[in-house]
Chain A
């Protein structure tokens, strides 16, 4: 299969098949996401009416930590079973490997977020039926997936990979988290695309930037 798309889809097919077999990633992150909202719901019990105001922040705290959990697994299975080595000795470009892993992580995270969002909306009392909110979540998650995949590939080669990933990940995605929280606050408040001002384009610019830089760095990271 030639080109970039074919190998990307093969890698995604394989990762989905493995996840369907093990179900360890999606289930554990779903449970984590639900626990976060339950904890925050109890914590905010004394501040009725403020839940909706704080909802975007809570939402992105949960999504960001869920992303770290998902990313921790992205290359661990490859490393443990030699799959990465198998990919590296196949005639597939490093870009295809990277983008395949990004797409897999993006699909998993979006599925988890799609399951969590209605629960968050009910418990924190905000409307999830907002196209701008959905777009914000998509762009923010894309940024998480791109940056997280790169740092997951780096962290998996270290002994303290579970600690290393968040240490590397959060400082770099901070602009995305800030912009996503701001955009989500406005989206939850009923603003349209125009009302989101600079925040949504800012996430888009960061995504585009990371999509150019990260595959390039990935090629060096996986080179032994």
Chain B
């Protein structure tokens, strides 16, 4: 890991609106090293927007964010070097093979010995036998796994995952769960969104519910446990009810 800031992610008074519509409002967030934060919320609650801000892809209107100790506004390239992102799109070129896509990203990230690293991550997501297949020939689930391989390629300090389990079969979800557990055990951090309560609660160390532009941590933001889980389930149910 490249840095030892106090927190993996530290956001203060974050605000973001689209036109007149406020999405995030005075939002505070901190993610310690070695933990997975799971974000729940109704559609349109701002989960993806929050991840896109953390990924430096969308600029917040107000507030400050530091990822791995680097300020998002003043050091965006340092932040990008330290994050891996999996979104709704694979960000892979369909006419290139998995290996070519990963070599391309390795070069953009300036990785040395990228060939061995590419093989390693493809094996990790069990796509070793499909390495030389064009991305367009892969199923959606396989493309998602290739996207995960892309995200972990440069061994980022923080993984930002937007509904990573979507489109994955049971085996792939299990591979992803193992990968995320290894990730946090090695001291790195993960922020992920999901609509799957059980999955989120089993993978996360902490869980937050986005509602009304703010992030709430039911159960006093403590480590997940049966009481906290029940509180989160109730909070998510309330948020979904409010979102409808």
B-binding residues in A (CB < 8 A): 1-2, 6-7, 10, 13-14, 17-18, 21-22, 77, 81-83, 85-93, 223-224
Scoring B residues 53 to 86 as 1 if CB is less than 8 Å from chain A, else 0, what string do you get? Answer: 0011111000000000000000001101101010
**Chain B residues, CB < 8 A from A13:** 104
B122 contacts the other chain (CB 8 A)? no
B100 contacts the other chain (CB 8 A)? yes
Among B55, B85, B104, B109, which residue has its beta carbon within 8 angstroms of that of A14?
B104
Closest A-B pairs by Cβ, 10 of them? A86-B91, A82-B89, A91-B81, A90-B108, A1-B110, A82-B91, A21-B95, A10-B107, A91-B80, A91-B77
Cβ distance A202 to chain B, nearest Cβ, rounded Å? 37
In the complex, number of A-B residue pairs with CB atoms less than 8 Å apart: 73
> Bound state CA distance, A1 and B110, in angstroms?
4
Contact A89 B93 (CB under 8 A): no
> Bound state CA distance, A17 and B55, in angstroms?
28
Closest to A83 in B: B93
Scoring B residues 186 to 219 as 1 if CB is less than 8 Å from chain A, else 0, what string do you get? Answer: 0000000000000000000000000000000000
**Chain A residues, CB < 8 A from B91:** 81-83, 85-86, 89
> Bound state CA distance, A7 and B105, in angstroms?
10
Cβ distance A15 to chain B, nearest Cβ, rounded Å? 10
Contact A91 B55 (CB under 8 A): no
Cβ distance A104 to chain B, nearest Cβ, rounded Å? 14
B90 contacts the other chain (CB 8 A)? yes
- Which of B81, B93, B96 has the most chain A CB atoms closer than 10 A to its own CB? B93
> Bound state CA distance, A89 and B77, in angstroms?
8
**Chain B interface, >50% SS class:** loop
Scoring B residues 134 to 175 as 1 if CB is less than 8 Å from chain A, else 0, what string do you get? Answer: 000000000000000010000000000000000000000000
> Bound state CA distance, A6 and B94, in angstroms?
23
> Bound state CA distance, A81 and B93, in angstroms?
6
List 30 A-B pairs, Cβ < 8 Å: A2-B110, A6-B107, A10-B108, A13-B104, A14-B96, A18-B95, A18-B96, A22-B95, A81-B92, A81-B94, A82-B90, A83-B93, A86-B91, A86-B105, A86-B150, A87-B108, A88-B56, A89-B56, A89-B57, A89-B83, A89-B91, A90-B80, A90-B105, A90-B108, A90-B109, A91-B77, A91-B80, A91-B81, A92-B77, A224-B59
Closest to B82 in A: A91
Cβ distance B88 to chain A, nearest Cβ, rounded Å? 9
Among B57, B96, B104, B109, which residue has its beta carbon within 8 angstroms of that of A88?
B57
Among A10, A22, A89, A93, which residue has its beta carbon within 8 angstroms of that of B55?
A89
Contact A1 B107 (CB under 8 A): yes
**Chain A residues, CB < 8 A from B58:** 224
Cβ distance A40 to chain B, nearest Cβ, rounded Å? 35
Among A1, A2, A17, A85, which residue has its beta carbon within 8 angstroms of that of B96?
A17
In the complex with contacts A14-B104, A91-B77, A224-B59, A21-B109 CB distance below 8 A? no
**Chain B residues, CB < 8 A from A86:** 91-92, 105, 150
- Which of B81, B100, B110 has the most chain A CB atoms closer than 10 A to its own CB? B110
